[in-house]
Amino acid sequence: MQNRIFKIAFICLFSFTGLDVYSQEVLQKKEAIKIAMENNFDIQISNNNLSIAKNNASIQNSKYLPSLSGSAGGTYTSTDGTITQKSGTEVDFNNNETSGLNASVGLSYTVFDGFGRSNAYKKLQENYHISELQARQLIENTILNIFNSYYEVARLTQDVNNQKQTITISGIRLKRANYGIEYGQGSQLDVLNAEVDYNNDSISYLTNSQLLANEKRNLNLLLGRDIAIDFTVDTTLNYATDLTLESLTVHAKENNVTLLQQELVVKNARYDVKSTRASAIPKLNVNANYGLNENNMGSTSFINKSLSYGPTVGATLSWNLYDGGATKIRKQNSKITVDIQQTTLEREKLNIQRNLSNAWSSYQTALFVKDAQKKNLETSQTNFNRSTEQYRLGQIANIEFRQAQLNLLNTQLVLNRAKYSAKLAELFLLQISGDLNQVKF
């Protein structure tokens, strides 16, 4: 029985720690972000959408430039027939051939359209800026997801290492129990309890090692690279020391990506109001054309051939005097839309203020929990060290030593979770304030 237990534990340890024999890539935090910016699928799609928005905001899509068109054509006919003259004489003709050629080049330009074109172009520019902010928002969310996965890998790495130490301690205890049987100083019950504890520790180690392997694959997917790449991560943490709620509030008003987008939406709504006003203002268009026409009339015509060419210049002034009230309705609706978007902006400001306050409170709580758990670990470590010495001297029973061992492990696991939770709370806080690009790794 004992040999079988050791064999199972050995297989578990080899399966998940054998990789340490070989050198693994140490994936640094900055390197992870760099890889994601180049390979992440969502970021690539966002960059392409941003390129489309940039094209749409071009002057070539604004109707500011004149339009130039050209055309050319030709005709040919061959007819048979009879012509009856006024005298009554009939003349037959066969294969009467006529042909014509024409070509023209035209230029058209809107000189003035009531500022509708100007407002439309400004709106295109703002739409591009909105697309930039949307791309930034996606990048920020991707960075948060990457760090969430990265720190989960780091946490599980430390948890697995702690559980590895627990298995080692449980193995020593199992050997001690067997030695006690050999020297008549123990009982079979001690051996059985030690075997159960050793098995449970091995199962916990195996389970968390599998979770670690899964999370590494998740992180590789976020980075847009082969999910089979194995790596280790940097488990050190640096926390910001200069954060204040007041400064974060000021930054959020200036840099929060959601707020900036809504401000541009309000701006675009105002451009729509101006564009509807343009419908009631006269518009002036000019056009120029240069054409060439050549016709061969055939034998039945009094004119054998005609040729004409030359320029044509014109201007058109149009004014929509009344369209049944449609323009008036559009004006009213566009003004209401401005009010709606302005109200949405004010609501978003309050949402951000609330979210920032909540995130700040959560961050402060997470820091307190982290520091408290750190002190708890010191206490658990001291208690375990004393229990180990007492157990070695036979002053405490197996169950008391096991309880001290579990208390130490649980405190280590809780502290690991608290450390990385505090860091993620800090990142979320910086995202709300618009300062995620200033994060300290």
Q: What is the pLDDT of residue 298?
A: 67
More confident residue, 13 or 147: 147
Query: How many domains, the chain?
Result: 1
More confident residue, 304 or 340: 340
pLDDT of residue 299: 63
Mean pLDDT of 133-151: 95
Note whether residue 258 is domain-resident.
yes
Q: Is the confidence at residue 1, as pLDDT, over 60?
A: no
Highest mean pLDDT among 33-42, 67-76, 298-307, 318-327: 33-42
Percent residues over pLDDT 90 in the chain:
59
3-state secondary structure 219-239: HHHHHCCCCCCCEEECCCCCC
Instruction: Report if residue 256 sits inside a domain.
Output: yes
74 pLDDT band, cuts 50/70/90, is confident
Average pLDDT, integer, range 306-315? 86
User: Shortest CA distance to 281 belongs to which of 335, 317, 330?
Assistant: 317
| pTM for the model | 0.83
Most confident of 6-15, 48-57, 112-121, 403-412: 403-412
Closest CA to 319 of 67, 112, 64, 120: 112
**Looking at this protein, which amino acid is placed at residue 107?**
L
**Band of pLDDT at residue 301, cut at 50, 70 and 90:** low
Predicted confidence at residue 2, as pLDDT, reads: 43
Q: Which among 258, 241, 248 is positioned nearest to 347, based on CA atoms? A: 258
Whether the per-residue pLDDT at 367 is higher than 90: the answer is yes
What's residue 79's pLDDT?
A: 76
6 domain-assigned: yes
Per DSSP, 279 falls in state: G
Q: Which domain holds residue 420?
A: 2-65+112-281+324-438
pLDDT of residue 4: 45
Report how far residue 313's alpha carbon sits from residue 44's, in angstroms, rounded to the nearest whole number.
49
User: Is position 155 within any domain?
Assistant: yes
Query: For position 343, which CATH number holds?
Result: 1.20.1600.10
Distance between CA 320 and CA 24 in Å, rounded? 73
DSSP 119-139: HHHHHHHHHHHHHHHHHHHHH
Q: Is residue 176 part of a domain?
A: yes
- Residue 302's pLDDT is 62
Give the model's confidence band at 65: pLDDT under 50 very low, under 70 low, under 90 confident, else very high. confident
Q: Which residue has the higher pLDDT, 234 or 303?
A: 234
Residue with more model confidence, 294 or 106: 106
417-438 average pLDDT score:
94
**Residue range 19-40: average pLDDT?**
81
Q: Examine residue 297 and state whether it is found in any structural domain, yes or no.
A: no
- The mean per-residue pLDDT over the stretch 232-250 comes to 94
Per-residue pLDDT band at 7 (split at 50, 70, 90): very low
75 within a domain of the structure (yes/no): no
Q: What average pLDDT does this structure show over 134-155?
A: 96
Q: What are the strands, taking DSSP E only, across 363-412?
A: none
What integer pLDDT is reported at residue 19 of this predicted model?
A: 40
By DSSP bridging, strand 25-27 and strand 231-233 are parallel
Average pLDDT, the chain: 88
Residue 183 lies in a domain: yes
**Mean pLDDT, range 357-381, rounded to an integer:** 97
Average confidence (pLDDT) over 171-188: 83
pLDDT (0 to 100) of residue 184: 74
Section 239-262 average pLDDT: 94
Mean pLDDT calculated for residue range 366-390 = 96
pLDDT for position 85:
65
- In this prediction, residues 137-166 reach a mean pLDDT of 96
Indicate whether 392 pLDDT > 90: no
pLDDT over 50 (residue 274): yes
- Looking at residue 438, what DSSP letter applies? G
241 versus 368: the higher-pLDDT residue is: 368
CA distance 165 to 163: 5
